[in-house]
Amino acid sequence: MYDVIVVGAGPAGCTAAKALAEKGYKVLLVEKFRMPRYKSCSGVLIKKSIELVKKYFGEAVPETAMCIPARNRGMIFTNDVGKEYRFEQEGLNVWRSHFDGWLAEKAKESGAEVMDGVAALSCTEKDGFVEVSLHGQKNYTEGARYVIDCEGVVGALKRQIARQYVGKITGEVPGYITTYQTFNQGSIDLDPHYFYAYLQPELSEYDAWFNVKDDLLVLGVSVKNMDKIGHYYGRFIAYMEEKHRLRIDRQTKEEKWLMPHICPGCRVDYAVGRILFAGEVAGFLNPMGEGISAGMESGYCAAGAVVQHFDDPETVRDAYRQSTENLKSYMQRQWSLVGGMADTFREME
Protein backbone atom coordinates (compact mmCIF):
# COMPACT_ATOMS: atom_id res chain seq x y z
CA MET A 1 0.00 0.00 0.00
CA TYR A 2 1.46 3.31 -1.11
CA ASP A 3 0.62 6.61 0.52
CA VAL A 4 0.30 8.25 -2.90
CA ILE A 5 0.43 7.08 -6.50
CA VAL A 6 1.30 9.90 -8.92
CA VAL A 7 0.36 9.31 -12.55
CA GLY A 8 2.46 11.08 -15.19
CA ALA A 9 6.14 12.07 -14.95
CA GLY A 10 5.92 15.55 -16.41
CA PRO A 11 6.59 18.75 -14.42
CA ALA A 12 3.38 18.37 -12.36
CA GLY A 13 3.88 14.72 -11.48
CA CYS A 14 7.60 14.96 -10.74
CA THR A 15 7.10 17.99 -8.52
CA ALA A 16 4.30 16.29 -6.58
CA ALA A 17 6.26 13.04 -6.21
CA LYS A 18 9.41 14.79 -4.99
CA ALA A 19 7.52 16.99 -2.51
CA LEU A 20 5.80 13.95 -1.00
CA ALA A 21 8.81 11.64 -0.97
CA GLU A 22 11.10 14.12 0.76
CA LYS A 23 8.50 14.34 3.55
CA GLY A 24 8.82 10.60 4.08
CA TYR A 25 5.70 9.40 2.26
CA LYS A 26 5.74 6.17 0.28
CA VAL A 27 5.25 7.36 -3.31
CA LEU A 28 4.94 5.58 -6.65
CA LEU A 29 5.41 7.72 -9.78
CA VAL A 30 4.23 5.94 -12.94
CA GLU A 31 4.82 7.08 -16.53
CA LYS A 32 3.28 5.29 -19.51
CA PHE A 33 6.18 6.14 -21.85
CA ARG A 34 9.76 5.02 -21.49
CA MET A 35 11.98 7.68 -19.94
CA PRO A 36 13.30 10.03 -21.05
CA ARG A 37 9.95 10.55 -22.68
CA TYR A 38 9.41 13.25 -25.30
CA LYS A 39 6.67 15.85 -25.49
CA SER A 40 6.02 18.24 -28.34
CA CYS A 41 6.53 21.61 -26.68
CA SER A 42 8.27 24.95 -27.18
CA GLY A 43 10.55 23.97 -24.33
CA VAL A 44 10.83 27.58 -23.21
CA LEU A 45 11.04 27.98 -19.44
CA ILE A 46 9.74 31.42 -18.49
CA LYS A 47 11.18 33.26 -15.51
CA LYS A 48 8.46 31.90 -13.22
CA SER A 49 9.32 28.31 -14.19
CA ILE A 50 13.01 28.88 -13.52
CA GLU A 51 12.21 30.25 -10.06
CA LEU A 52 9.88 27.31 -9.30
CA VAL A 53 12.60 24.80 -10.25
CA LYS A 54 14.96 26.43 -7.76
CA LYS A 55 12.24 26.56 -5.11
CA TYR A 56 10.93 23.00 -5.47
CA PHE A 57 14.07 21.15 -6.58
CA GLY A 58 16.74 23.15 -4.76
CA GLU A 59 18.98 23.80 -7.73
CA ALA A 60 19.10 25.41 -11.15
CA VAL A 61 18.14 23.70 -14.40
CA PRO A 62 21.22 21.75 -15.54
CA GLU A 63 22.97 22.65 -18.77
CA THR A 64 22.45 19.07 -19.97
CA ALA A 65 18.74 19.84 -20.34
CA MET A 66 19.31 22.93 -22.47
CA CYS A 67 19.58 23.40 -26.21
CA ILE A 68 21.08 26.17 -28.35
CA PRO A 69 20.50 29.03 -27.81
CA ALA A 70 20.25 28.23 -24.09
CA ARG A 71 19.10 31.70 -23.11
CA ASN A 72 15.68 32.94 -24.10
CA ARG A 73 15.12 36.70 -23.91
CA GLY A 74 11.35 36.78 -24.04
CA MET A 75 8.33 36.51 -26.32
CA ILE A 76 7.22 38.60 -29.27
CA PHE A 77 3.52 38.50 -30.16
CA THR A 78 2.01 39.73 -33.43
CA ASN A 79 -1.72 40.31 -33.00
CA ASP A 80 -4.54 39.79 -35.46
CA VAL A 81 -3.93 43.14 -37.23
CA GLY A 82 -0.14 42.87 -37.37
CA LYS A 83 0.75 44.93 -34.29
CA GLU A 84 3.81 43.64 -32.43
CA TYR A 85 4.03 43.26 -28.65
CA ARG A 86 7.42 42.55 -27.06
CA PHE A 87 7.72 40.95 -23.64
CA GLU A 88 11.34 40.99 -22.50
CA GLN A 89 11.99 38.37 -19.85
CA GLU A 90 14.74 36.00 -18.78
CA GLY A 91 14.12 32.42 -19.87
CA LEU A 92 15.74 29.12 -20.79
CA ASN A 93 15.49 26.93 -23.89
CA VAL A 94 15.32 23.20 -23.06
CA TRP A 95 14.46 19.86 -24.60
CA ARG A 96 11.48 18.51 -22.70
CA SER A 97 12.83 14.95 -22.79
CA HIS A 98 16.02 16.00 -20.97
CA PHE A 99 14.26 18.45 -18.64
CA ASP A 100 11.47 16.05 -17.60
CA GLY A 101 13.97 13.22 -17.26
CA TRP A 102 16.02 15.33 -14.86
CA LEU A 103 12.90 16.17 -12.82
CA ALA A 104 12.01 12.47 -12.57
CA GLU A 105 15.54 11.62 -11.45
CA LYS A 106 15.29 14.25 -8.70
CA ALA A 107 11.99 12.73 -7.53
CA LYS A 108 13.69 9.33 -7.44
CA GLU A 109 16.65 10.71 -5.46
CA SER A 110 14.17 12.05 -2.89
CA GLY A 111 12.78 8.57 -2.34
CA ALA A 112 9.95 8.19 -4.86
CA GLU A 113 9.68 4.86 -6.67
CA VAL A 114 9.64 5.61 -10.40
CA MET A 115 8.21 3.18 -12.98
CA ASP A 116 8.27 4.04 -16.68
CA GLY A 117 6.53 2.10 -19.42
CA VAL A 118 3.62 1.62 -17.02
CA ALA A 119 0.17 3.00 -17.85
CA ALA A 120 -2.59 3.67 -15.34
CA LEU A 121 -5.72 2.17 -16.90
CA SER A 122 -8.31 2.85 -14.22
CA CYS A 123 -8.77 3.49 -10.53
CA THR A 124 -11.55 2.73 -8.10
CA GLU A 125 -12.03 4.27 -4.68
CA LYS A 126 -12.44 1.68 -1.96
CA ASP A 127 -12.91 2.05 1.80
CA GLY A 128 -10.07 4.38 2.78
CA PHE A 129 -7.87 3.92 -0.29
CA VAL A 130 -7.78 3.91 -4.10
CA GLU A 131 -7.13 0.78 -6.15
CA VAL A 132 -5.22 1.56 -9.38
CA SER A 133 -5.11 -0.81 -12.34
CA LEU A 134 -1.71 -0.64 -14.06
CA HIS A 135 -0.36 -2.09 -17.28
CA GLY A 136 3.32 -2.60 -17.98
CA GLN A 137 4.72 -5.95 -19.02
CA LYS A 138 1.66 -7.38 -17.27
CA ASN A 139 -1.60 -6.16 -15.76
CA TYR A 140 -1.69 -5.69 -12.00
CA THR A 141 -3.14 -3.44 -9.30
CA GLU A 142 -1.66 -1.25 -6.60
CA GLY A 143 -3.34 0.54 -3.72
CA ALA A 144 -2.74 4.02 -2.33
CA ARG A 145 -4.39 6.36 0.13
CA TYR A 146 -4.40 9.04 -2.58
CA VAL A 147 -3.88 9.36 -6.32
CA ILE A 148 -2.59 12.54 -7.97
CA ASP A 149 -3.44 12.44 -11.67
CA CYS A 150 -0.92 14.44 -13.74
CA GLU A 151 -1.39 12.66 -17.08
CA GLY A 152 -1.84 15.72 -19.28
CA VAL A 153 -4.68 16.67 -21.56
CA VAL A 154 -5.32 13.24 -23.12
CA GLY A 155 -5.33 11.36 -19.82
CA ALA A 156 -7.39 8.18 -20.10
CA LEU A 157 -7.56 7.86 -16.33
CA LYS A 158 -9.60 11.03 -15.89
CA ARG A 159 -12.11 9.98 -18.52
CA GLN A 160 -12.57 6.67 -16.68
CA ILE A 161 -12.95 8.49 -13.36
CA ALA A 162 -15.53 10.83 -14.89
CA ARG A 163 -17.83 7.89 -15.59
CA GLN A 164 -17.84 7.13 -11.85
CA TYR A 165 -18.40 10.73 -10.80
CA VAL A 166 -20.91 11.98 -13.36
CA GLY A 167 -21.46 15.72 -13.03
CA LYS A 168 -18.58 16.29 -10.59
CA ILE A 169 -15.81 16.63 -13.17
CA THR A 170 -15.81 17.40 -16.89
CA GLY A 171 -14.24 14.08 -17.87
CA GLU A 172 -12.85 15.73 -20.98
CA VAL A 173 -11.85 19.31 -21.67
CA PRO A 174 -14.38 21.26 -23.81
CA GLY A 175 -12.49 20.42 -26.99
CA TYR A 176 -8.89 20.02 -28.05
CA ILE A 177 -6.47 22.18 -29.96
CA THR A 178 -4.20 20.22 -32.31
CA THR A 179 -0.65 21.52 -32.66
CA TYR A 180 1.54 20.74 -35.65
CA GLN A 181 5.18 21.76 -35.92
CA THR A 182 8.21 20.99 -38.05
CA PHE A 183 11.96 21.13 -37.43
CA ASN A 184 13.96 22.50 -40.32
CA GLN A 185 17.45 23.30 -41.48
CA GLY A 186 17.59 26.70 -43.09
CA SER A 187 17.76 30.42 -42.33
CA ILE A 188 15.54 33.31 -41.27
CA ASP A 189 15.89 36.99 -40.38
CA LEU A 190 14.74 36.70 -36.77
CA ASP A 191 16.64 36.75 -33.47
CA PRO A 192 16.83 33.09 -32.27
CA HIS A 193 16.77 34.16 -28.61
CA TYR A 194 13.03 34.94 -28.70
CA PHE A 195 9.84 32.91 -28.99
CA TYR A 196 7.50 34.37 -31.63
CA ALA A 197 3.71 33.92 -31.58
CA TYR A 198 1.42 35.01 -34.41
CA LEU A 199 -2.28 35.51 -33.70
CA GLN A 200 -3.53 36.42 -37.18
CA PRO A 201 -6.61 34.32 -38.04
CA GLU A 202 -5.40 33.79 -41.61
CA LEU A 203 -2.37 31.90 -40.28
CA SER A 204 -4.05 29.49 -37.83
CA GLU A 205 -7.23 28.78 -35.90
CA TYR A 206 -5.51 29.55 -32.62
CA ASP A 207 -1.89 30.66 -32.94
CA ALA A 208 1.24 30.05 -35.01
CA TRP A 209 4.81 30.20 -33.71
CA PHE A 210 8.51 30.18 -34.43
CA ASN A 211 11.56 29.45 -32.29
CA VAL A 212 15.00 27.88 -32.63
CA LYS A 213 16.33 24.72 -30.96
CA ASP A 214 19.86 23.47 -31.63
CA ASP A 215 20.03 25.53 -34.84
CA LEU A 216 16.82 23.97 -36.14
CA LEU A 217 14.00 26.31 -37.18
CA VAL A 218 10.79 25.26 -35.44
CA LEU A 219 7.61 26.40 -37.19
CA GLY A 220 4.14 25.46 -36.04
CA VAL A 221 0.43 26.12 -36.25
CA SER A 222 -2.50 25.10 -34.07
CA VAL A 223 -5.97 24.29 -35.32
CA LYS A 224 -9.38 23.26 -34.05
CA ASN A 225 -10.02 21.17 -37.17
CA MET A 226 -7.19 18.71 -37.93
CA ASP A 227 -8.13 18.66 -41.62
CA LYS A 228 -6.97 22.27 -41.92
CA ILE A 229 -3.39 21.71 -40.74
CA GLY A 230 -1.95 21.68 -44.26
CA HIS A 231 -3.88 24.78 -45.29
CA TYR A 232 -2.75 26.92 -42.35
CA TYR A 233 0.80 25.58 -42.26
CA GLY A 234 1.24 26.47 -45.94
CA ARG A 235 -0.04 30.00 -45.34
CA PHE A 236 2.23 30.44 -42.33
CA ILE A 237 5.31 29.32 -44.25
CA ALA A 238 4.46 31.73 -47.08
CA TYR A 239 4.00 34.54 -44.54
CA MET A 240 7.37 33.85 -42.91
CA GLU A 241 9.06 33.70 -46.31
CA GLU A 242 7.64 37.09 -47.23
CA LYS A 243 8.05 38.86 -43.88
CA HIS A 244 11.23 37.33 -42.49
CA ARG A 245 13.04 35.82 -45.49
CA LEU A 246 12.53 32.25 -44.29
CA ARG A 247 14.43 29.67 -46.31
CA ILE A 248 13.95 25.96 -45.62
CA ASP A 249 16.69 23.70 -46.95
CA ARG A 250 15.47 20.46 -45.42
CA GLN A 251 12.75 19.36 -43.00
CA THR A 252 14.14 16.97 -40.40
CA LYS A 253 11.03 16.15 -38.34
CA GLU A 254 7.32 16.85 -38.00
CA GLU A 255 5.03 16.18 -35.04
CA LYS A 256 1.47 16.62 -33.79
CA TRP A 257 0.21 17.05 -30.25
CA LEU A 258 -2.93 18.04 -28.37
CA MET A 259 -3.55 20.71 -25.77
CA PRO A 260 -6.77 21.68 -23.98
CA HIS A 261 -8.96 24.40 -25.42
CA ILE A 262 -9.22 26.76 -22.46
CA CYS A 263 -12.60 28.50 -22.38
CA PRO A 264 -13.83 31.69 -20.63
CA GLY A 265 -13.80 31.26 -16.88
CA CYS A 266 -10.83 28.85 -17.03
CA ARG A 267 -12.61 25.88 -15.46
CA VAL A 268 -10.46 23.70 -13.21
CA ASP A 269 -11.27 20.20 -11.94
CA TYR A 270 -9.46 19.88 -8.62
CA ALA A 271 -10.40 16.53 -7.12
CA VAL A 272 -13.01 13.85 -6.50
CA GLY A 273 -12.79 11.63 -3.46
CA ARG A 274 -9.16 10.67 -2.87
CA ILE A 275 -8.14 11.52 -6.46
CA LEU A 276 -6.57 14.92 -7.16
CA PHE A 277 -5.86 16.44 -10.58
CA ALA A 278 -2.86 18.66 -11.37
CA GLY A 279 -1.44 20.31 -14.48
CA GLU A 280 -3.22 20.25 -17.83
CA VAL A 281 -5.56 17.39 -16.91
CA ALA A 282 -6.97 19.66 -14.18
CA GLY A 283 -7.27 22.60 -16.60
CA PHE A 284 -4.19 24.59 -15.61
CA LEU A 285 -2.69 26.03 -18.81
CA ASN A 286 -1.46 29.53 -19.63
CA PRO A 287 -1.74 31.22 -23.06
CA MET A 288 0.32 29.87 -25.96
CA GLY A 289 0.40 26.45 -24.29
CA GLU A 290 2.70 27.45 -21.41
CA GLY A 291 1.94 24.68 -18.96
CA ILE A 292 5.26 23.99 -17.24
CA SER A 293 4.96 26.62 -14.51
CA ALA A 294 1.27 25.84 -13.91
CA GLY A 295 2.02 22.12 -13.80
CA MET A 296 4.81 22.46 -11.26
CA GLU A 297 2.84 24.81 -9.01
CA SER A 298 -0.38 22.77 -9.06
CA GLY A 299 1.56 19.53 -8.47
CA TYR A 300 3.30 21.06 -5.47
CA CYS A 301 0.01 22.39 -4.07
CA ALA A 302 -1.65 18.98 -4.44
CA ALA A 303 1.21 17.33 -2.60
CA GLY A 304 1.14 19.98 0.12
CA ALA A 305 -2.57 19.46 0.73
CA VAL A 306 -2.02 15.70 1.15
CA VAL A 307 0.89 16.26 3.54
CA GLN A 308 -1.03 18.73 5.71
CA HIS A 309 -4.33 16.82 5.93
CA PHE A 310 -3.46 13.20 5.12
CA ASP A 311 -6.18 11.65 7.30
CA ASP A 312 -9.01 13.89 6.08
CA PRO A 313 -9.72 13.60 2.30
CA GLU A 314 -12.41 16.28 2.33
CA THR A 315 -10.02 18.79 3.92
CA VAL A 316 -7.32 17.74 1.42
CA ARG A 317 -9.61 18.68 -1.45
CA ASP A 318 -10.56 22.03 0.11
CA ALA A 319 -6.95 22.85 0.97
CA TYR A 320 -5.80 22.04 -2.56
CA ARG A 321 -8.43 24.32 -4.07
CA GLN A 322 -7.54 27.16 -1.71
CA SER A 323 -3.80 26.81 -2.25
CA THR A 324 -4.22 27.15 -6.03
CA GLU A 325 -6.40 30.28 -5.92
CA ASN A 326 -3.45 32.52 -6.82
CA LEU A 327 -2.40 30.15 -9.60
CA LYS A 328 -5.87 30.21 -11.16
CA SER A 329 -6.05 33.99 -10.80
CA TYR A 330 -2.66 34.29 -12.53
CA MET A 331 -3.90 32.05 -15.36
CA GLN A 332 -7.05 34.11 -15.80
CA ARG A 333 -5.04 37.36 -15.91
CA GLN A 334 -2.71 35.94 -18.54
CA TRP A 335 -5.62 34.86 -20.73
CA SER A 336 -7.29 38.24 -20.24
CA LEU A 337 -4.08 39.96 -21.37
CA VAL A 338 -4.03 37.96 -24.60
CA GLY A 339 -7.76 38.56 -25.02
CA GLY A 340 -7.14 42.30 -24.95
CA MET A 341 -4.35 41.92 -27.47
CA ALA A 342 -6.21 40.20 -30.31
CA ASP A 343 -9.81 39.54 -31.39
CA THR A 344 -8.78 35.90 -31.87
CA PHE A 345 -8.95 35.53 -28.09
CA ARG A 346 -11.43 38.33 -27.28
CA GLU A 347 -13.76 35.97 -25.42
CA MET A 348 -11.03 35.44 -22.81
CA GLU A 349 -10.72 39.12 -21.88
Q: Write out pLDDT tens, residues 137-162.
A: 889 999 999 999 999 887 788 888 88
Q: What is the pLDDT of residues 257-313, one digit of tens each?
A: 999 899 899 999 999 999 999 999 999 999 988 999 999 999 999 999 999 999 999
Residue 132 amino acid letter:
V
What does the pLDDT look like over 101-143, one tens digit per residue?
Answer: 999 999 999 999 999 999 999 999 999 999 999 999 889 999 9
Distances (CA, A) of 92 to 16, 45, 180, 303: 22, 5, 22, 26
User: Which of 216, 168, 194, 227 has its CA nearest to residue 71?
Assistant: 194
- Per-residue pLDDT, 164: 78
Question: Of 99, 98, 94, 75, which Cα lies nearest the Cα of 85?
Answer: 75
Pairing of β 176-187 and β 194-198: unpaired
Helix (H) / strand (E) element for 220: namely: strand 216-223
pLDDT digits (tens, 9 = 90+) for 66-103: 999 999 999 999 999 999 999 999 999 999 999 999 99
Q: Which residues pair with 259 in a beta bridge?
A: 177
pLDDT at 166 over 80: no
Share of the chain above pLDDT 90, in %: 87
Q: What is the dihedral of CA 174, 175, 180, 181, to 10 degrees?
A: 0
- Candidates 159, 130, 153, 175; CA nearest to 10 is 153
CA distance 306 to 317: 9
What pLDDT does residue 173 have? Answer: 45
Distance of alpha carbon 98 from the chain centroid: 15
